[in-house]
Structure 1
Amino acid sequence: MDECINSEKENFFLNGIKDNLNKLSIQTYHHEGYTAFIQSLKSYYKQNMRLLNTDHYQTLFFENQRIYTKVKDEPPTKYGEDAEVNHSLVANGCTIEGEVSNSILFRGVTVEKGAVVKDSIILQRCHIKADSTIDYSIIDKDSTIASGTTLKGIEDRPYVIAKRSVI
C-alpha cells in the first residue's frame, strides 16, 4: 500500500497485490456472508460509509461468525452539553462537544466545541479542535486538526490526512 500511495496508484488490488504476487504470501479462506471489495481510496471510503446503513452494520457484525479484535477497554464516549450527533458510528473513549453527522469515529477521537464533522471517517486518537470543519474527509490516526481549519473533499474524492499529521 505504501508503494501505491507513493507512486499515486489508486488500485491497491492491481498495483499493490497483483503486481507483487512474487513477494507476498497469499492465503485463502472460505467465507460466506457480508463482503466489501476495497480496491482504492474511493472504495475504502464508500464501503466504510455503507456501515452507517443499519442493515449492512447488522449483517457484518451480528450475523454468522462474529468479528473479534483486540480488546481495548476505554470509558464510554463523553458527550458535551452542546454536542450534536446523528447518523454516526462512534467508538468508545471519544469526547464530543461539537457536531458530528453521517460519520464514523474510531476510539479516542476528540471533537471540540464548535467543530463540525460531516460525512467523514476519523481514525483513532485524532483531535479535531474548536471551530474546525471537516467534510468528506478521512483523517488517519493520531492526527490533530487545528482550530478554525476547514478540510473539504467530495464523496468521490475524500480529502485525506496521513497519520500523525498536524494541520
Structure 2
Amino acid sequence: MMNDVLGLILGGGKGNRLYPLTQKRSKPAVPLAGKYRLIDIPISNCLNAGIQKIAILTQFNSVSLHRHISNTYRRDIFTPGWIEILAAEQTPRSSAWYQGTADAVRQQLVEIRNARTKYVLILAGDHLYQMDYQKFVQFHVDTNADITLAVQPVNAAVAPELGILKRNPDGEIVHFKEKPKTEELSGLESLPGTPNPFMASMGIYVFTTELLLDLLNSPGDDFGKDLIPASLGIRRVMGYVFEGYWADIGTIRRFYEVNLELASPSRPFDFNNPAQPIYTHPRFLPPCEVYGSTLDQVLLTDGCCISNATITNSVIGLRSIIRPKAVVKDSIIMGADYYESREEREKNAQLGRPDIGIGEESIIESALVDKNARIGKKVQINYLPNRPDSDGDCWVVRDGLVIIPKGAIIPDNTVI
C-alpha cells in the first residue's frame, strides 16, 4: 500500500519565529541535535515506512536545504521511486509565491498527478517525532476517510498556538479551530478532566488524491485555516491519535528546549533506534578529541576538539572547537561547516579575528551559537532572567536567549 502513497513535505516557510537561525537558511534546514537537520525527520519517517515517492516543496532561503537533500538522499537506478525538490516557480497558471500550505500544494498539482499515487501524505518540515506512517495511512483506509489528520492531546498552555479540534465517539472530527484564543477554548475539550484536555492537529494529513485535487479547486490558501474547517460535515474527516513524542519546533525558545531535552539522560526522543533510523548527510569526520575536560549531560557530535574545558547540559555540534578554560553551560553550539587551515588561522590572526569556535577562558551560558561563529578569548555571554528581545552588532536576543548568528565575530573580552 505504501507504494501507492506520495509523501509531500512542506518546507517553504520563512520561519520568522526562528530568526536569526533562518536568516541564511530555510526552517527545515536548521540544524538539530548537533548533526541532523529538521528536514531529516519527515524524510526518514517516510523511508522507514516504505514510501518511495517523496517530494519537498521549497521556496524561501532554500539553497542550503537543496544542497543537503541532494547530498544526502541519493537514489540509484535500481531503487524504485524518487526524492525530489519542487521549488516555487512562475508558470502560465501562477506567477506568485506560495501563499500558504494549501496554495503550495495547489501550485504543484501537475507533479502530484504525475506521481500517480492513490494517496497523498502531507507533512511539515519542522517537527520532531517518529511515526509509523503505514499505520496512519491504514487508519485512513480502514475508516473510509476522505481526509485524516494526525492529532495529539495537549494542554491549555500550548493550545492557542495550534489547530484545536473535537472528535465524536467514532473518531470523526466535528469541530476545528485554528489557533483559538484562550477565551475560545471553552467547549473544545476532548478529554475533560485530564492534564491534556485538548486535541491538536499535528499538521500531518492523508488525502485520497482525487479528493485532494477536487478540494484544491475551492478557495483558500491554508489547510488548517481554510480547507479543513470547510470540509467538516461535508467530507468524512477523521482524527488519528498519535501518542508518541512530538515537538513543533516553531520558536527559538522551543528549539532551545527541545535540543537540551535531547542531551538529557531521560530524553523523550531517542535517535538511537536501529529499527527506525534517522538519516542525514554522511560526513566521514574524524573522532572527537577531548583533553583534560569535564563534560556532564552533553550531546557530543562528530569531529570536535575540546581542551581543558567545562561543558554541562549542552549540545556540541559538528567540528566544534572549544579551547582551554572555556565554560559552556545550558547552551547549543552548532559547530562549523569546515575546519580552518593553518594559513587561514594565520591570516585571521593578522586581521585580528578569532578562529572559528569558542576562545580560551570564554563563558557561554544559555546561548545558541550558530555555525562558523568566532568567539574570542575571555568572552562572557551571561544568563539574565527576563532579558528583553534586542539586536546587537553581532548578536541577537530572542525569547530571553542570546543567539550568535552564523559566521558572526565576537571580539576578545566582549560581555553580553
- Pairwise TM-score range, normalised by the shorter structure: 0.7 to 0.9
Could you tell me how far 1:84 is from its partner in structure 2? 1.2
Pair member with larger Rg? 2
Could you tell me how far 1:114 is from its partner in structure 2? 0.8
1:103 aligns with 2:346: no
Asked if 1 retains the 8 angstrom alpha-carbon contact of 2:335 and 2:357, the reply is: no
Percentage of identical aligned residues: 24
Q: Which has the higher contact order (CA 8 A, sep 6+)?
A: 2
* Mapping for residues 63-102 of structure 1, pairs under 5 Å: 65-80=276-291, 82-97=292-307, 98-102=309-313
**Pairs aligned (count):** 156
AA paired with 1:40?
T
Q: What is the TM-score with the length of structure 1 in the denominator?
A: 0.80
1:135 aligns with 2:372: no
1:31 aligns with 2:125: no
Could you tell me how far 1:153 is from its partner in structure 2? 3.3
Partner of 2:405: 162
Could you tell me how far 1:104 is from its partner in structure 2? 0.3
Partner of 1:46: 257
Question: Which has the larger share of strand?
Answer: 2
Could you tell me how far 1:137 is from its partner in structure 2? 0.3
Asked if 1 retains the 8 angstrom alpha-carbon contact of 2:374 and 2:408, the reply is: yes
Asked if 2 retains the 8 angstrom alpha-carbon contact of 1:34 and 1:59, the reply is: no
Separation in 2, partners of 1:135, 1:107 = 19
Structure 1, gaps ≥5 residues long: 7-11
AA paired with 1:87?
Q
Separation in 2, partners of 1:43, 1:2 = 13
RMSD: 2.9
Separation in 2, partners of 1:39, 1:2 = 7
- The range that moved more, 88-97 or 24-33, is 24-33
Separation in 2, partners of 1:140, 1:28 = 30
- The range that moved more, 148-157 or 87-96, is 148-157
Asked if 2 retains the 8 angstrom alpha-carbon contact of 1:140 and 1:164, the reply is: yes
AA paired with 2:296?
N
Q: What is the TM-score with the length of structure 2 in the denominator?
A: 0.34
Separation in 1, partners of 2:321, 2:365 = 16
